[in-house]
Amino acid sequence: MALLPRKKRRKDPLGGNSPGGAMVKFKEIGIFLVERRMGSSRRSFLTELARKKGFRVEEQMSESVTHVVSENNTGDEVLELLEKQNGICSTGFTAALVDITWFTESMGAGRPLELENCHRLQVKRISAAAVIGTPISPYACQRRTTLNNKNRLFTDALKILAENAELCESEGRYLAFTRASSILKSLPYNMTRMDDLQGIPSLGDHSRKVIKEILEDGICSEVENVIQNERYQTLKLFTSIFGVGVKTADKWYREGLRTLDELRASKIKLTKEQTAGLLYYEDLNVPVTRAEADLIGQIVEAAIHRFLPTAVITLTGGFRRGNESGHDVDFLITHPEEGKEEGLIYQVISWMATQGLILYDDITENSYQKWKNQEPEKFDHFTKCFSIFKLKREPICNLELSRPSNHDCLAVNEIGRKGLADRAGTTQHVTAAAAGDKDWKAVRVDLIIAPFGQYAYALLGWTGSRLFERDLRRYAKHFKHMNLNSHSLFDNEQNKLLAAATEEEIFAHLGLDYIPPHERNA
């Protein structure tokens, strides 16, 4: 006789069962056992014991933990451990730090006992959060970081170490140095001694060592060695070429290349993107000013409104965060009537190319599918064009910006169907024509087309900063059981997408205070 399939046990929506299957009697109590000096075997035994008696024991530190239980550790040691391993700020959570005696007495009584002074671990250190009067969160999305950096000497050093780690493809070290630099950047006071670091989360031993050396000697020898390192210098040079990533730069370095002239003289086959990046290298590595960004904005807006008069265009990226310069200019484009924006990018880029404004373009189509939103991704799936503008110094009024004729529309629609990547001769022609004089500047410009229903999420994602967005998504996943990306916010508990018309509504969905763009410079 065939065996009947076993029925799957339904999950208690209220979390009534512990991971071991025992019924949770004391749902309001959440215990986290610190393994340090307790050992993994004893921790596992105590975890099983507590769950059998109806206690809820968490494997990871989280907001649901009410009691942090430690054995043979001081309160200061536990706090330091939580900051290093879990990114928990000493003033950012309300869990009680308790000795193992409270745990054993509670197990003996079969219920959680009231906390007495003899159970609590004493904390002697004074945190930096207490000095400034507000908690310091390990999450950049809970900190307000302006452009007024009072600790640039330290943050610049940590940034160099982060860059070197990224060039060595060591993501863990890259994130550690980046987070340390970010949190120092958010402090409203100048650090003058190591005691100023007490209570600050996300500072590992390596970062503290760097800070200590700078405080004592004015410089960090490790940072100085990195700056002088040939591989660091070469990979930093090659990755500053538009279209060149770390793997390609490292390959060229291992092949013996060290300079741009050597690269130009080599027989290495470059991609279309890399060819443009090398050709316009000098211009593309000169910062774009706010005035130049505004001028490009006028050109882009006029070109878009030529084909879609009611389209909405927003300057994003660092300029939206208040920066006066940047390495490129990003524009987010949408239309209140969803669907109207489809095909627009081909019309706009094609027309601007005929005006001699485009030196290079690469368009990708929208590939977003709602089922993909279950897991946050590094890149979005919007229709976008990565381009290099030929920014002329002549007034914008010299451009022909009238509405297109029917003939114009037919022409650009035909190009849109074929794809601008196959637009024979256009980029080469513009480049050749422009080479004779230099009353222009090559500027990186990204155009992103977002459907209106996803616009708020796209605006949040493309405003940055990079770490702010990363921490926002990390916070959503770890504390709210939600998946956030530049398209949507998915609530895993409700199993649905959460609509948002503004950035403020997204922050509200996450239970976070709204942080305006100029305070997201993490």
The sheet that has 26-33: what strands, in order across it? 55-57, 26-33, 67-70, 96-99
Among 185, 203, 200, 180, CA closest to 91:
200
Phi-psi region of 98 (alpha: psi -120 to 50; beta: other; left: phi over 0): beta
Domain ranges of the chain: 26-125, 140-227, 229-279, 288-453, 457-519
Res. 406: pLDDT tops 80: no
DSSP code string of 205-241: HHHHHHHHHHHHHSS-HHHHHHHH-HHHHHHHHHHTS
Q: Which amino acid is at 476?
A: A
Q: Which CATH class is domain 26-125?
A: alpha beta
Q: H-helix or E-strand containing 131?
A: helix 128-132
- State residue 518's pLDDT score: 97
Q: Which amino acid is at 388?
A: I
Q: Which residue among 250, 328, 361, 380 is the active-site one?
A: 328
- State residue 403's pLDDT score: 44
Q: Are 350 and 420 in contact (CB under 8 A)?
A: yes
Q: How far is CA 232 from CA 158, 226, 383, in A?
A: 15, 7, 34
Residue 385 Cα to chain centre, angstroms: 21
405 CB contacts (<8 Å, ≥6 apart)? none
Q: Are 322 and 518 in contact (CB under 8 A)?
A: yes
pLDDT bin (cut points 50, 70, 90) of residue 136 is confident
- State residue 14's pLDDT score: 35
> Known catalytic residue: 330?
yes
Same fold yes or no, 288-453 and 457-519: no
Among 338, 253, 328, 337, CA closest to 289:
328
- State residue 27's pLDDT score: 85
- State residue 81's pLDDT score: 81
Res. 317: pLDDT tops 80: yes
CATH of domain 457-519: 3.30.210.10
More confident: 510 or 189: 510
With respect to CATH, is domain 288-453 assigned 3.30.460.10? yes
- List pLDDT tens digits, range 252-305: 999 999 999 999 999 999 999 999 999 999 999 999 999 999 999 999 999 999
Q: Are 400 and 355 in contact (CB under 8 A)?
A: yes
pLDDT bin (cut points 50, 70, 90) of residue 419 is very low
pLDDT bin (cut points 50, 70, 90) of residue 196 is confident
Among 361, 360, 368, CA closest to 345:
361
> Known catalytic residue: 439?
no
Q: How far is CA 16 from CA 24, 31, 113, 481, in A?
A: 5, 15, 21, 18
Average pLDDT over residues 321-349: 96
Is 166 in a helix, a strand, or coil?
A: helix
Mean pLDDT of the chain, nearest integer: 85
- State residue 428's pLDDT score: 38
CA dist., res. 121 & res. 405, Å (int): 77
Res. 339: pLDDT tops 50: yes
With respect to CATH, is domain 140-227 assigned 3.30.479.30? no
- List pLDDT tens digits, range 1-58: 344 444 444 444 334 555 556 688 888 899 999 998 888 889 999 999 999 999 999 9
Q: Which residue among 76, 99, 408, 446 is the active-site one?
A: 446
Q: Are 321 and 521 in contact (CB under 8 A)?
A: yes
Average pLDDT over residues 364-390: 77
Average pLDDT over residues 491-495: 93
Average pLDDT over residues 361-366: 92
- State residue 431's pLDDT score: 46
pLDDT bin (cut points 50, 70, 90) of residue 349 is very high
pLDDT bin (cut points 50, 70, 90) of residue 199 is confident
Task: Select 229-279's CATH number: 1.10.150.20, 3.30.420.40, 1.20.20.10, 1.10.260.40.
Answer: 1.10.150.20
- List pLDDT tens digits, range 510-519: 999 999 999 9
> Known catalytic residue: 250?
no
- State residue 358's pLDDT score: 97
DSSP code string of 335-400: -SSTTTTTTHHHHHHHHHHHTT-EEEEEEE-----GGGGGS--SS---EEEEEEEEEESS-GGGS-
Q: Which residue among 196, 330, 361, 471 is the active-site one?
A: 330
Q: At what angle do helices 100-109 and 40-52 cross, to 10 degrees?
A: 30
Instruction: Give the other-Cβ count within 10 Å of 259's Cβ.
Output: 11
Q: In the 3-class helix/strand/coil scheme, how is 73-85 assigned residue by residue? A: CCHHHHHHHHHHH
DSSP 8-class letter at 193:
S
Is 56 in a helix, a strand, or coil?
A: strand
More confident: 85 or 121: 121
Picking from 134-148, 173-187, 211-225, 327-341, which range would have the lowest pLDDT averaged per residue? 134-148
Residue 58 half-sphere exposure, CB side, CA atoms within 13 Å?
Answer: 18
More confident: 103 or 117: 103
Q: H-helix or E-strand containing 251?
A: helix 246-254
CA dist., res. 224 & res. 228, Å (int): 6
Per the DSSP assignment, residues forming a β-bridge with 67 are: 31, 96
Among 169, 143, 42, CA closest to 87:
143
Average pLDDT over residues 129-155: 85
Q: Which amino acid is at 123?
A: V
